[in-house]
Amino acid sequence: MGIVVLGTVALDSVKTPFGKREKMLGGSAAHFSMSARLFTKVNLVAVVGKDFPCEYIDFLERKGIILTSLIRSQGSTFKWEGQYEGDLNTAQTLNTELGVLSDFKPVISEEERRIKYIFLANVDPDIQRHLLEKMRSPKLIGLDSMNFWIHHKRNSLLRLMKMVDIFVANDQEARSLSGETNLVKAAKWLCSRGPKIVLIKKGEHGVLLLSEKFIFSLPAYPTEKVIDPTGAGDTFAGGFMGYLARAGKANTMNLRKAIAYGTVAASFNVEDFGMNRTAHLSMRDLNKRLAEFKKHILF
Amino acid sequence: MGIVVLGTVALDSVKTPFGKREKMLGGSAAHFSMSARLFTKVNLVAVVGKDFPCEYIDFLERKGIILTSLIRSQGSTFKWEGQYEGDLNTAQTLNTELGVLSDFKPVISEEERRIKYIFLANVDPDIQRHLLEKMRSPKLIGLDSMNFWIHHKRNSLLRLMKMVDIFVANDQEARSLSGETNLVKAAKWLCSRGPKIVLIKKGEHGVLLLSEKFIFSLPAYPTEKVIDPTGAGDTFAGGFMGYLARAGKANTMNLRKAIAYGTVAASFNVEDFGMNRTAHLSMRDLNKRLAEFKKHILF
């Protein structure tokens, strides 16, 4: 079972206490794909500009990611510039250039429209809905967003939430959208807006999943090697949705395993800048760390 | 196997979004005892002033806590006044009155000196060392502290750390004492100062344990009922040490179980003001929630 992921493919400039990198390959859909590709076929739907380096296209293709619907438009690629300090848990955005993202209309092939697993990674909720309406027979739809859309397109986002199965947010976003400070209450509020499953990512503190039937939480994989957390949330989502697409069924046990795989995938992502680490991952690496992680939380 | 706990018995005035309470029974040793008593005999070593209500003494005794070495001094009881806002994860101290604590010298009986499990709950590190030096044959020594002592008595605290087996700190304290922002690095630094085991409490985000042999982490028990988190860390420590004292051996599996019991005990503590909830707990309540908690993190 393949996945369609819609989101951004970006040029990221990042500064952390461990160094600085300019115009790395980044973006929500790119990070998601780099992780989900380990589990299943991934069709990436996004837009880049004329300035987007060909070597990044080659790189994504070499990783097996299907780029049929990666559009190259006139204008410049979406750029994000940010920095991390202290515990590296929160990004500070220094600059954002929307570029070609500002009038992006996703176009996908007839074949892609029939894919059943869909992830709407962070991008304007109107663009997310545009894609979703094209899909012929979705089986599982995941949705991510960010503070910018929560504040500027709250109604679009709330309308979209009614159409999806899984809503993914970080703790700040969950609090901000729901108005609840307690995360379990926030998750319940979000669940009441449509999605059957709500997943709250807490960065270095792990993750909380709430569904009508059960609640599940895991700490992050404890690591002292945190070089650049950019894309950790999307890498998590890629592992999570990737596992579910491969398993073919989002039952309780598979959801738990999917979260564990997402957690482990994200733990690799933070170990180096951009996709330097996740680009070289194998299922063997993931499984090895998963077994270690299982021991960490055993009692 | 009993436990000796040294720490504070205080009068706490607390304001949270759910209300306000004046001069409740509180303090590190009191909260610890209320939780540890479920597992083993607890001898509480502390000082109170002339103004300390007799009904609180009766209350502690009714709960089976041994008060032979609870001294009543001239002067006034230690008082803490604080408030919580937002996610209730961080206390804001409004006022502290040391009172009788400022020249407290713990005195314990010959029988108590032979108890093998010792917990030095938060109080001046010089007082903690004073007690520790009286103990005849410690088997397991736990130590907690707080930011005030980390800043004002750093050397005393570091010297004391060499004498204990387990050091307990919250995330801020661990970062502040070690100078490391990454919590795994912070825990390793703390471990290098003496204690074989370091336990970092992360409030609503759970706990991380690091020893020379293994690393263990658990999320908090997910709860939407957080009324007053005062004493949650001490309640955690009480469950943790209480379980170890009852088990009689701090091997890997017992340490893991001890953390799980501590986590569950703390989750009850936050559900009501002061000790309103923990005072009415039974082992049955703990075991029931422990079984639920185990399901939460199963994958």
pLDDT tens, position by position, B190-230: 999 999 999 999 988 999 999 988 899 999 999 988 999 99
What number is the ipTM of this complex? 0.81
pLDDT tens, position by position, A2-48: 999 999 999 999 999 999 999 999 999 999 999 999 999 999 999 99
Please check whether residue B44 is in contact with residue B60, taking contact to mean a CB–CB distance below 8 angstroms. yes
Cβ–Cβ gap A183/B206 under 8 Å:
no
Tell me, rounded to whole angstroms, the distance of Cα B130 from its chain centroid. 19
Cβ–Cβ gap B256/A298 under 8 Å:
yes
Place of tokens 């009038």: A103
pLDDT tens, position by position, A74-94: 999 999 999 998 778 788 999
What's the confidence (pLDDT) of residue B188?
97
Find the residue in A nearest to B224 (Cα): A184
What's the confidence (pLDDT) of residue A88?
82
| Chain A residues closer than 8 Å to B205 by CB | 202, 205-206, 219
pLDDT over 90 at B64, yes or no = yes
Which site among B172, B184, B205 would you substitute to test the A interface, given the most A Cβ atoms closer than 10 Å to its Cβ? B205
Q: How confident is the model over A199-207, as a mean pLDDT?
A: 93
What's the confidence (pLDDT) of residue A213?
86
pLDDT tens, position by position, A224-257: 889 999 999 999 999 999 999 999 999 999 999 9
CA dist., res. A218 & res. A206, Å (int): 6
pLDDT over 90 at B111, yes or no = yes
Cβ–Cβ gap B298/A183 under 8 Å:
no
pLDDT over 90 at A58, yes or no = yes
CA dist., res. A173 & res. B159, Å (int): 43
Å between B209 CA and nearest CA of chain A: 9
Find the residue in B nearest to A187 (Cα): B224
Q: How confident is the model over A192-216, as a mean pLDDT?
A: 94
| Chain A residues closer than 8 Å to B206 by CB | 205-206, 219
CA dist., res. B22 & res. B18, Å (int): 14
| Chain B residues closer than 8 Å to A224 by CB | 182, 184-185, 188
What's the confidence (pLDDT) of residue B91?
85
Instruction: Identify which of B201, B214, B221 has the alpha carbon closest to the alpha carbon of residue B295.
Output: B221
Under the phi-then-psi rule, with left for phi > 0, alpha for psi from -120 to 50, and beta for the rest, what region is B231? left
Q: Kindly list the domain boundaries of chain B, sorted by start residue.
A: 3-296
B299 → closest Cβ in A175, A226, A260: A260
Q: A3-296 has which fold? A: UDP-N-acetylmuramoyl-L-alanine:D-glutamate ligase (3.40.1190)
Please check whether residue B221 is in contact with residue B204, taking contact to mean a CB–CB distance below 8 angstroms. no
